[in-house]
Amino acid sequence: MLIEFDSISVRNGDRILAQVTEAVGKGDCVLDFSRVKSVDSTALAVLLTAQRVARKTDKTLQLQHLPAQVGSLVKAYGVQSLFPEISVP
């Protein structure tokens, strides 16, 4: 699923979360962030939810073109072990 927003923030997080949850629930476990230019901690909520939904369907979540900010958030919140595929600074 292509994330169609240029940012993920508290302003649009509910919409993105609903879209991602639906897509992953239907088996589309590849999330493409190529259009996303900025994120806040809402992006972690989206990733954590997507990962949980994917696991419920015995699928593996794949993340493509993540903004560099995501790695910083993963490190700041101490969730590296949940996302080993995300490089942290």
Decide if pLDDT at 88 tops 90.
Answer: no
- Helices (H), ranges, the chain: 13-25, 42-56, 68-76
Angle CA 44–53–61, to nearest 5: 70
- Give the residue extent of every domain in the chain: 7-82
Report the pLDDT value the prediction gives residue 54, as an integer from 0 to 100.
Answer: 95
The pLDDT > 70 percentage for the chain reads 100
Q: Render pLDDT for 67-85 as a digit per residue (tens, 0 to 9).
A: 999 999 999 999 999 999 8
The CA distance from 35 to 24, in Å, is 19
Q: Is the dihedral of CA 34, 64, 16, 7 positive or negative?
A: negative
Residues 20-54: tens digit of each pLDDT: 999 999 999 999 999 999 999 999 999 999 999 99
What is the model's pLDDT at position 89? 82
Domain 7-82 has CATH 3.30.750.24: yes
> What is the distance between the terminal CA atoms of the chain, rounded to a whole angstrom?
26
**Is residue 74 within 8 Å of residue 44, measured between CB atoms?**
yes
